[in-house]
Amino acid sequence: MNDTFKITIDGKEIEARQGQTIMDAADAAGIYIPRLCSHPDLKPIGSCRVCTVVVDGRPQAACVKPVMDGMVIENDTPAVLQHRRNIIDMMFVEGNHFCMFCEKSGNCELQALAYRFGITAPQYPFQFPEKEVDGSHPDILLDHNRCIMCARCVRASQELDGKNVFQSIGRGFHRKIGVNGEKELGDTDMAVSDRATEICPVGCIIKKRVGYEVPIGQRIYDKAPIGSDIEEVHP
Amino acid sequence: MSEMVSTIKKICKRYGNDRARLMDIVNEVQDALGHVPREAFGLIAREANTHRVEVESVVSFYAFLSDKKQGAVVIRLCDDIIDRFKGSEAVGDALVAALGIGFDETTADGKITLEKTPCIGMSDQAPGMLVNDTVITNLTPAKIPDLVRQLMANPDPQALVAEPGDGNNADSLICAMVNNNIREAGPVILADYRKNAGLRKALTQTPEEVIEDVKTSQLRGRGGAGFLTGFKWELTRKARGTEKFVLCNADEGEPGTFKDRVLLTERADLVLEGMTIAAYAIGAETGIIYLRGEYAYLRGFLEHTINQRREAHLLGNTILGHEGFNFDVRIQMGAGAYVCGEETSLISSCEGTRGDPTDRTPFPVVKGYMVSPTAVNNVESYCCAARIMDKGPGWFASIGTARSAGTKLLSVCGDCERPGIYEIPFGTKLRELLARAGAEDVAAVCVGGPSGQMVGPAQFDLGISYEELSTGGSVMVFSNQRDILEVADAFMEFFVDESCGYCVPCRVGNVLLKNRLERVRKGVGEQKDLDYLQRLGESVKFTSRCGLGQTSPNPILSTLKNFRPVYNALVKENKTGFHKSFNIMKAVEQASAIAGRRSEIFHA
Amino acid sequence: MSKPRVATTSLAGCFGCHMSLLDIDERILQLIELIDFDRSPIDDIKHISQRCAVGLIEGGCCNEENVHVLQEFRKNCDVLVAFGDCATMGGIPAMRNNIPLEECINEAYRDGVTVYNPKGIVPDDPEIPLLLDKVYPAHEVVKIDYFLPGCPPSADTLWAALTALLSGKPLDLPYELLKYD
């Protein structure tokens, strides 16, 4: 059985395989679809919606939508880009993102996406919500101010660490990441060596005593925009 | 062993220490202890073979569950816009005065808790409230002191039901003061019918023929989405899986809708008959009725109906002597979460987790409840299916319009003489419906609830149908005395409260939309705020993950479209470059109070 | 032909953005060929003297005086640029935004661990502007035309932005010059 076929992204025909998501196929072809909650080592959940594309006229999250023979996909169109930008803006205003002193700055995927989109300021008003900082763990800091609810930590703990340290609690605007302990992160079996520690795209979960290790200018997104690595596959 | 521990252990054991029954477990713990204490999360997790944070995840999701001790009596005042317009705010004030507490508070003696809750499905007899599971309707502020006095003397809320309502509401298993308010019965659902004739007929056919009949009838899902029911059954039948499930969506949470309440009261047998036919058609042995927490007062009656059907061999093994056809039904109680009306959320909830929706590839027909092929249908759809089997698909398809076959049950409420249930053939013009309901001086009608659309007189000649004015049943009428944007604002408040928060656009976008609408309503908005609402609304609609977010901007988008002059009158041209939304006097108010002086600069 | 006038101010900021402006080093000689400075901490002119082409706003609004100054800028400048994170999103001062004002004042003047204030007096001269309930980014108070984020925006960023604005070119920062830190 032939399980490879063609799909079209922005008018460019590319090869896709049965079982791939749109994002997988695009990545392999060197087409970057912006994303945040998605991570190559984790099951996709389609929660951030940044990877929204238009498939045969309907919006779909590229990270979860499986490819089908002959799919026609719009990725890099003004309308799609505008929706994505709006979502990025929403993430900035729903939390308290103080990039100027965040240890993750320069390596933060949310910030990098905003840079890639050329966002100088979000178009929505900052909400300045009250959030907790959990410093109870000896090696790990959990700062809810920076959380974007991508649930990478939830999945990494379950899928990669074989634990269950995190889960979403509450709902709506008050939804947050809960920990599997009586009170705080220090009550859980989280270890600094867990994948869940380093998989956070923003500065919500960070290792203590690392600080601003990499000098400005040498951080991941100082020189090249996020997604450049994927785009370099097929120049 | 403390009493709490033994109670919890007993409850967990009753549900087989099964993590998939976590909803039932925490619901019962809540009933038994008045809350689900945080100290018990660990114990429940151990007993139900899950993790502490999973228990917290569930308890923190549902509005009817609480980790704080509540009174033995919990009063939940319905805070729907229809109820507000019928005076629920004054009723709320009266409750606050009589109880001496505010909302979300418990009386000092720990006996009574006061809360607000979205639409409880009693908009035709508003204002209403829930006292534990008991429904109290047609409230007035004058009635409150007596009600509270009675509750303080006797904490059994059922004692408040002086006179039960009509029909089965008076049945001893329901005994509710709810009235059916059936205004117009149509040929399909509310007409007299031959019980189980549809099921008997179905069993004379092969499952494939049953599916063919339902397809031929052109029956589309009555929840509002309008997917072809027969096609859904066919996909479920054809999907690979050793076990298949039939789920009935009785999570009637769309504000202004109450037709399923009436169906479950007066046509419970027909609903179960339809589910049984579906089970036969797709090859399922288990069915679940997902009953919204607000309708808990119907649970005993429904369970009795299920039992009666078991005794009559209409459920259970070898149904009606048909060898190999086994099917049984259980009831899954919800706990106050609108999003659970979304089929994937409903499935999550049935599986004992928080009601987050899941991705719709794969669709539930392929991988639904317990990762098995599952057909989720609306209460009304099952009723239609049973009648189609009895009277024939041609009969059904001949009613209504070419693209919308059959009749539709509408719940009409708001500013009209005759609120209640209308079974109308699809295609009936809105104007005609309004006349029949005795609605005069109508400024706006919300068709389909907050997730539907607000239409004005220019749209009144459209027909109720999937192709013109689509609705799962909700029709809310607003006279020209009402502020259209107050309605839109209330609807946005509803979506903000009910968003599960899983995806960004719905979690954040709805809050931003509501805030900006408030700004416009206050008269401090500008023309560009209307563009902001339009563009943000479109993004939320376009990028949200499930039906909730994909429809939540509709109150704003449909009023921007159909009631633009209302907005235009509120926004003014502003050439100063100073935002009117920034109010310096308000911004210095606190500092002014602390310092005990007025602003030297601005208080000229 | 007279040179376009530029006014600058630091509201609830730390003057770091102004320091960054001075960091353009010798390019300041080119800059004064292009513009005249009006009200600015650089020349200590206290009020805008005439219509300005560009106003540069450092800092958000944490008190009534900030609002007053910002409104003066809006009234008298053709184009307003919020420069720096404080103007753009409130910045460090905005960290108080989810703490009630009274608590902030008590922490600063009464309860803070390093505070010596036996009489518990909170400074209250009428000359001291009243604090706002929270720190407002500049664009929540008046219309802002352009944003230059950064803490501070680098001298190169400011140079690129100013020269683009003054020559009427679109303000399109290259990737390396758009930073939030």
Q: Which residues contact B498 (CB under 8 A, 6 or more apart)?
A: A172, B118, B253, B337, B338, B339, B548
CA angle A15, A19, A24 (to 5 degrees): 55
pTM score, whole prediction: 0.97
* CATH (domain of A124): 3.30.70.20
Nearest CA in chain C to A216: C181
B105-132 burial, b at 16+ Cβ within 10 Å, e below that, comes to ebbeeeebbbbbbbbbbbbbbbbbbbbb
Q: Which residue of B has its CA nearest to A123?
A: B532
User: In chain B, what are the domains?
Assistant: 3-59 (no CATH), 73-162 (3.40.30.10), 184-397 (3.40.50.11540), 407-482 (3.10.20.600), 485-570 (1.20.1440.230)
Per-residue pLDDT, B574: 87
- d(CA A124, CA A18) in angstroms, rounded, equals 40
Question: What is the reported pLDDT for B1?
Answer: 61
Q: Are residues A59 and A117 in the same domain?
A: no
Q: Which of the residues B342, B502, B514, B541 would you substitute to probe the A interface, choosing the one with the greatest number of A C-beta atoms within 10 Å?
A: B502
**Total tally of structural domains belonging to chain A:** 2
**The pLDDT of residue A232:** 83
Q: Is residue A91 part of a domain?
A: yes
Looking at the structure, tell me whether residues A156 and A106 fall in a common domain. Answer: yes
Instruction: Render the burial of B468-498: b for 16+ CB within 10 Å, e for the rest.
Output: bbbbbbbbbbbeeebebbebbbbbbbbbbbb
pLDDT digits (tens, 9 = 90+) for B233-291: 999 999 999 999 999 999 999 999 999 999 999 999 999 999 999 999 999 999 999 99
pLDDT for C172 equals 87
Class of domain C5-97+134-177: alpha beta
Could you tell me if A49 and A90 lie in one domain? no
Decide if C64 touches A, using CB distance below 8 A: no
Q: What is the dihedral of CA B454, B459, B462, B463, to 10 degrees?
A: 30
Residues of chain B with pLDDT under 50: none
Same structural domain, A71 and A94: no
- CA A95 to chain C, closest CA, distance in angstroms equals 11
Determine the residue among A89, A128, A145 to mutate to test chain C binding: the one whose Cβ has the most chain C Cβ atoms within 10 Å: A128
In a domain, residue A141? The reply is yes
A69 with A181, same domain: the answer is no
CA distance C177 to A217: 11
- Which residues on A lie below 8 Å from C137 (Cβ)? 121, 126
- Among residues B449, B556, B566, the alpha carbon closest in space to that of B513 is found at B556
For chain C, the domains span: 5-97+134-177
What band does A233 get if pLDDT is binned at 50, 70 and 90?
Answer: low
Q: Please give the mean pLDDT across all residues of chain B.
A: 96
Q: Are residues A71 and A121 in the same domain?
A: no
Are residue A46 and residue A28 in the same domain, yes or no? yes
CA atoms within 13 A on the CB side of B564: 7
**One domain for residues A59 and A174:** no
Is any Cβ of chain A less than 8 angstroms from the Cβ of B515?
yes
> Could you tell me which residues come within 8 angstroms of residue A65 by beta carbon, excluding any fewer than 6 positions away?
A21, A22, A53, A55, B361
Same-domain check for residues A135 and A190: yes
Q: What is the mean pLDDT of residues A196-215?
A: 97
pLDDT of B386-413, one tens digit each? 999 999 999 999 999 999 999 999 999 9
Please give the backbone phi and psi of residue A27, each rounded to the nearest 5 degrees, phi first: -55, -45
On chain B, the residues whose CB falls within 8 A of the CB of A45 are 359
- Does residue A197 share a domain with residue A139? yes
Low-confidence winner among A222-231, B399-408, C121-130 (lowest mean pLDDT) = C121-130
Residue to substitute from A22, A38, A86, interface B, most B β-carbons within 10 A: A86
Residue A94: alpha-carbon gap to chain centroid: 15
| Pair A132, A204 in one domain | yes
Q: Is residue C22 pLDDT above 90, yes or no?
A: yes
**Can you give the three-state secondary structure of A136-166, one letter per residue?**
CCCCEEEEHHHCCCCCHHHHHHHHHCCCCCE
Other C-beta atoms closer than 10 Å to the C-beta of B102 total 10
Instruction: Tell whether A98 and A69 lie within a shared domain.
Output: no
Contacts of C35 (CB under 8 A, 6+ apart): C3, C4, C5, C6, C53, C54, C166
Q: pLDDT, tens digit, for every residue of C131-171?
A: 999 999 999 999 999 999 999 999 999 999 999 998 888 88
Write the pLDDT tens digit of every residue in B458-516. Answer: 999 999 999 999 999 999 999 999 999 999 999 999 999 999 999 999 999 999 999 99
Give the residue-averaged pLDDT of A126-151.
Answer: 97
Asked if the structure places residue A72 within a domain, the reply is: yes
Which whole number is the average pLDDT over A60-75?
Answer: 97
Indicate which CATH number applies to the domain containing A67. Answer: 3.10.20.740
pLDDT value, residue B279: 98
Neighbouring chains of C at 3+ CB pairs within 8 Å? A, B
ipTM of the prediction: 0.97
Cβ–Cβ < 8 Å for B193, B270:
yes
| Domain range enclosing A43 | 4-76
pLDDT for B489 equals 98
Cα angle, residue B335 at apex, residues A176 and B110 outer, rounded to 5°: 90
Under the banding of pLDDT at 50, 70 and 90, the label for residue C1 is: low
Which residues make beta-bridge pairs with B286?
B245, B328
Q: Which of C80, C126, C132 sits opposite B597 (nearest CB)?
A: C126
Tell whether the model's pLDDT for residue A235 goes beyond 60: no
- Which of A46, A50, A168 has its CB closest to that of B359? A46
